[in-house]
Structure 1
């Protein structure tokens, strides 16, 4: 996902709302920069150091990435360093890594554990780590200029926190995120329940996309998914850092219970088809779905920053395919073969690829477009929940998401304002908070991610949820959609709330959730280059 220049974004629609302010309940809070955020390094919050990416090479380099590790201890060391990723057979892309792999190590802990992660920086630029979706103390949030100084070359920083919630999470640099995540600085973070029902196969699948100037699509191809979202610079799609036939199949035994954990580390929303006769989506953003129904051959849309866990029983021997919707070579390269074998029958990689190609020729866009797409607002069974639309709230905010102009430049805006000149969202500890998010962009998703909290989704486009209670930390608001969400202000601090399509965040689509009863003791060092997004 190496970043090119941001010039492609200039073709997006202009904002139709340049002046709407947050709607707040009485008494109206002071949303200007408060004493609680005066210590923050606002001058360094915007922009990216991304430049035209280095291209892939075909000569085998000395510093090839290693296989992703699974680290299970309560004390972990992550080292940021350079390497080359063999993204396709014989094609090596220059990347930045944690511990020499892309994705970085999968950290596996148990709910309730106190975890210590030591970050060592062997790159020549500052870095940090943000644990995406994990509810932790604000000092451990990993946002340079807001909660800590970026870790300088040769420096270290230690993160310590207790894992309160079980689920699928990920970690990534939050220093110059567009650039650094784009170069591979991310990994997965799995918090397992105590006494959880075991599964025979538990795999994490990280979706991403990259820009390689030395990769050229056939003239007949158009990267339609990328172009439709103004992300036309991406030309390699990967699962766990590999593309096409180089993606490792998920091999299982007949009768196995299988859990697949999907994480979108890229900047594009990916629409996947799941060619399986019986599966359930059991969790999203680490939160369980109540009594999820069994689905058959359907579509799953995964936005940047989101996570979904899918479970099924491996019933029929053979290859069941999960892949990106689309007929281009780009889409066909993002595919996950689930290979069910028996004690007597196994399939070679060549046989698997032959079956994948055969299925992809049949699973055209025209065919899978008829399959039902999962709607989480109507999935699972209703149950008592913490919030509802009828109750009163201490704070009531509105966020209108669009494009606009800030300081004479194109920007992505919230209520017509671009960060850091955007109004804060202020709360006090114990407040109940309702937030209405509307996407007025013509053709762009806005996956909105709130640090340090989870929130309950109450309605979509004016209709209350009819399925399971739905809790998220990253909510994809598609063009024309309106969501109402609610949360309890129970984690004092200064927390970022931003679009996880990181081009949008870099160009202004973020605000701070500021606790009025919190005073930060962190004082940014003006001599370091803090770039918090």
Structure 2
């Protein structure tokens, strides 16, 4: 990515549509072709896919513990399905063709209904030919409100992604290019952040919800113009706010920050060519009323500590360019098997805890996502670490995770580098 060629400056800032009302229980999303101003104004528009006339789709805000109903109308000329990423919801509402539903045919509408059990930052996206439909724009933020308001002046969402496009903004339609699939995945030539609207002042305390909605890109991020702490990962509040210098985000991961604003807040992707500006939240005016105070932890999540595991499984990542041979029939494999099979990778009784060792025997990083659950990342000493729904495993490294499988159903387990998923890195687990 060449900074001079494709640069997301403050003039390129886009605002997320906030069509949904906080606390609403009924929504309607229409998947359709849209025209979006992804490049800076005047540099050409982009024909792509989105929801309700926009890309990203509207920010949905809802209440924890209250049932929500979302009608998804398919206005495309092809099938689709919508996955509510990170929500521990009923299996039939997970939005995964083959495992949990049929595709939504063109012209049809499917009603999703679920009760979000956790407050936090989540998102929604297509889960049908998702390496293409998400790359073309089928994504949007989903926020589950805290029971009590957090002490901030503004609650701001930032959706990050990249797009493979020409200089005039036209998408380059190469979503399943075999070279990209076998390497780091299809990476864009232009990246940016879309922010929810706000009027920020110097002295404000803000909550910044970062969502990596890119299909394959890992974002190493730096924040300037503010100081603060990480307060949540993948929608789960940290026990104590955590200091940060840079932030590493795999595709599908989320990071919540609470920041004290000292100037315009700039979000940069750190690249070999230097900082690449994804976007800036301009600060105008001064808030002299805000009193300095330590950043407090968010209200704790409702997931109990995991019990000792009764099973230990290994998920070995195999294949790709510069990788060894494997027994699967696609570019990538888990445990010598490519793509979804008739038998699950793991079968668990409801409430059973298992340790899974994720072994990356490939030359590329992988962001492994488990549907319907969160899991603990374990330290090298076996200590329980962060709760996540997507974990990043670097080449020739391994990571242990600990999960209590308390949500019945058939749940996908896959690499969220979506090029790798279509290349074979998909399996599933069953909880009965």
Q: 1:263 aligns with which of 211, 216, 222?
A: 211
Greater relative contact order structure (CA < 8 Å, 6+ sep):
1
Question: What's the CA shift for 1:95?
Answer: 0.6
Q: Deviations over 1:73-114 (max 9, x none)?
A: 210000011111111223111111110111101000111111
1:77 corresponds in structure 2 to: 28
SS, match of residue 350 in structure 2: coil
Q: 1:278 aligns with which of 200, 217, 227?
A: 227
Residue pairs, 1:294-305, within 5 angstroms: 294-295=243-244, 298-305=245-252
1:254 corresponds in structure 2 to: 202
- Relative to the length of structure 2, the TM-score reads 0.82
1:358 corresponds in structure 2 to: none
Question: What's the CA shift for 1:200?
Answer: 1.2
CA distance in 1: counterparts of 2:46 and 2:188, whole angstroms: 14
Q: 2:387 aligns with which of 462, 471, 483?
A: 471
Residue pairs, 1:298-337, within 5 angstroms: 298-314=245-261, 316=262, 318-326=263-271, 328=273, 332=276, 334-337=277-280
Are the structure 2 counterparts of residues 189 and 320 from structure 1 closer, same or farther at C-alpha, using a change threshold of 3 Å? closer
Q: Deviations over 1:448-478 (max 9, x none)?
A: 000011111122xx33448xx4101011111
CA distance in 1: counterparts of 2:137 and 2:333, whole angstroms: 27
Q: Deviations over 1:127-149 (max 9, x none)?
A: 11100000001000111121111
1:42 corresponds in structure 2 to: none
Aligned length: 385
182-191 vs 272-281, which moves further? 272-281
Are the structure 2 counterparts of residues 344 and 485 from structure 1 closer, same or farther at C-alpha, using a change threshold of 3 Å? closer
2:357 corresponds in structure 1 to: 436
Residue pairs, 1:110-509, within 5 angstroms: 110-214=63-167, 230-231=184-185, 234-240=188-194, 251-266=199-214, 267-276=216-225, 278-295=227-244, 298-314=245-261, 316=262, 318-326=263-271, 328=273, 332=276, 334-343=277-286, 386-387=305-306, 391=308, 393-403=309-319, 410-421=330-341, 424-442=345-363, 444-459=364-379, 462-465=380-383, 469-509=385-425
Q: Deviations over 1:6-49 (max 9, x none)?
A: xxxxxxxxxxxxxxxxxxxxxxxxxxxxxxxxxxxxxxxxxxxx
Question: What's the CA shift for 1:150?
Answer: 0.6
Matching of residue 86 in structure 1 with residue 30 in structure 2: no
| Contact in 2 for aligned 1:250/1:339 (Cα 8 Å) | no
Are the structure 2 counterparts of residues 327 and 177 from structure 1 closer, same or farther at C-alpha, using a change threshold of 3 Å? same
Q: Deviations over 1:141-198 (max 9, x none)?
A: 1111211111101101000000100100000111111111111111110001111324
| Contact in 2 for aligned 1:206/1:239 (Cα 8 Å) | yes
| Contact in 2 for aligned 1:396/1:435 (Cα 8 Å) | yes
State which structure, 1 or 2, has the greater radius of gyration over its C-alpha atoms: 1
CA distance in 2: counterparts of 1:423 and 1:344, whole angstroms: 55
CA distance in 2: counterparts of 1:416 and 1:263, whole angstroms: 32
| Contact in 1 for aligned 2:264/2:282 (Cα 8 Å) | yes
| Contact in 2 for aligned 1:269/1:445 (Cα 8 Å) | no
SS, match of residue 239 in structure 2: coil
CA distance in 1: counterparts of 2:390 and 2:80, whole angstroms: 23
Question: What's the CA shift for 1:270?
Answer: 0.8
Q: Deviations over 1:184-240 (max 9, x none)?
A: 111110001111324211111111111114459xxxxxxxxx999634652111212
206-215 vs 475-484, which moves further? 206-215
Where structure 2 has 5 or more consecutive residues not aligned to the other structure, the ranges are 1-13, 170-179, 289-302
| Contact in 1 for aligned 2:82/2:95 (Cα 8 Å) | yes
SS, match of residue 132 in structure 2: helix
CA distance in 2: counterparts of 1:514 and 1:143, whole angstroms: 14
Question: What's the CA shift for 1:335?
Answer: 2.4
**RMSD between aligned alpha carbons?**
2.8
| Contact in 2 for aligned 1:406/1:418 (Cα 8 Å) | no
CA distance in 2: counterparts of 1:180 and 1:199, whole angstroms: 35
| Contact in 2 for aligned 1:66/1:101 (Cα 8 Å) | no
CA distance in 1: counterparts of 2:110 and 2:64, whole angstroms: 23
